[in-house]
Amino acid sequence: MQSNRKYYEFLAQEKETQKEKELFRELHLPQGIDFCSNDSLSLNKDFLPEIYRNLVHRGSIGSTGSRLIRGQSGPFEELENVFASFAGHEGSLYFSSGYAAALGVGSALFSPADQIFCDRLLHASLLDAVRLSGAGKNYFRHNNLEDLENKLKKRKKARHTWIVTESYFSMDGDSPDLAGLVKLAATYDCLLLLDEAHAIGAMGPLGRGLGAQVRPDVTVTIYPCGKALGLCGAFVGAHPLILEQLIQRARSFVFSTAPPLIIPLLLKEVVLALAKGLEERRRQLAENVRLFRSRIQSLADTRGSYGHIIPIIAGTAGRALKLSALLRSEGFDVRAIRPPTVPDELSRLRISLQSGHTDAELNDLEQALERSLSSAGP
């Protein structure tokens, strides 16, 4: 017991240090109007509850095992086929989360003999995937193809060179020049990995993502389903040989229980609906983005962002927390984003717009934001 007690003292000290730096994280129950989730098409407001109520499934509820043992089933197979044809791939493989998909891709496709070029602001799941694979990790400046090219010119010899980036960045609400990236990859004989987390469903033709136009030139695309698709898990879209390699070697796929079957059944309905009927939600989302951005234009530093993710730069972590608390007290759920997710001086509020936000909600948030920014001080 002695060593447990000492360890708890150590953890309590760590907690105090985090609190002093205003970096301690807490779990908050949802409260106020949702301007922080990733449910950009508001599917959890009405669409998914209705499908869920009407879904008749008489088979097993749990998957009962990993996909390679007893967990393989019709709903997963069908889902992967439906998604592949929607997104424009020869096939796809479903993982239990975006994080698991990234680690799976890293464990199956990267090795210490490879060099990987990562956008400086890449999501932690992809950075962890590179780190765990033992491949050489190189950073290029955020969305800066010139910097990437300079670094590619000086790269170390490698079995394979990969460029890894996102189509729409989750904290900065901006995008790389994908056509330029594809050209660079061809010039320097690189493979490309693209994460479409915040674009799939919400952006691109029919919500197919921003990489839809360059799909055949991208080696591997990851599509997390916890954002606009409203659920969880992630597809990897790629050539069948790559998907086979993932089934052989992706550790997060091989050594993990497949999700309950309700998930692929619901997701299939979302993907089918995207292909036909969710156009109106995307149009409404674009309209909300246009309206809200025009209202806050002179109010806040949104760092060259566009689209439904709006960073409001607060400065320090403390000021970001204060702004978030002020907005919460006015009935708005807007969260502070602090280090290590973003650099300290770029701590921010992250406003995430949805198709289901009403004109009045957007207007009220704009006014609350104005009041909070002036009462939080510089």
Ligand X SMILES: Cc1ncc(COP(=O)(O)O)c(C=O)c1O
Site residues for ligand X per CB under 6 A: 97-99, 123, 125, 166, 170, 195, 197, 224, 226, 232, 234
CA dihedral of residues 267, 272, 274, 278 (deg, nearest 10): -100
By C-beta, is 193 or 312 nearer to ligand X? 193
By C-beta, is 114 or 172 nearer to ligand X? 172
123 is a catalytic site residue: yes
Q: Phi and psi (nearest 5°) for 365?
A: -65, -40
Shortest Cβ 125–ligand X spacing (Å): 4
Question: Among 17, 68, 101, which residue's Cα sits nearest to residue 257?
Answer: 68
Active site residue: 89, 198, 268, 308, which one?
A: 198
End-to-end CA distance of the chain: 48
Residue 336: enclosing H or E segment and its boundaries? Answer: strand 335-337
Question: Among 40, 50, 56, 98, which residue's Cα sits nearest to residue 285?
Answer: 40
By C-beta, is 34 or 195 nearer to ligand X? 195
Q: Is 160 exposed, middle or buried (0-12, 13-18, 19+ CB in 10 A)?
A: middle
198 is a catalytic site residue: yes
166 is a catalytic site residue: yes
Shortest Cβ 254–ligand X spacing (Å): 18
d(C-alpha 238, C-alpha 141), whole Å: 26
Active site residue: 92, 170, 256, 355, which one?
A: 170
143 is a catalytic site residue: no
Query: Which single residue brings its beta carbon nearest to ligand X?
Result: 98
How many other C-beta atoms lie within 10 A of the C-beta of residue 37?
A: 16
d(C-alpha 42, C-alpha 61), whole Å: 26
Q: Phi and psi (nearest 5°) for 235?
A: -95, 145
By C-beta, is 231 or 376 nearer to ligand X? 231
Q: Is 112 exposed, middle or buried (0-12, 13-18, 19+ CB in 10 A)?
A: exposed
By C-beta, is 223 or 322 nearer to ligand X? 223
HSE, side-chain direction, 13 A CA sphere, residue 318: 6
Active site residue: 38, 167, 252, 352, which one?
A: 38
Residue 157, SS3?
coil
By C-beta, is 349 or 376 nearer to ligand X? 349
Q: Which residues are catalytically annotated?
A: 38, 123, 166, 170, 195, 198, 227
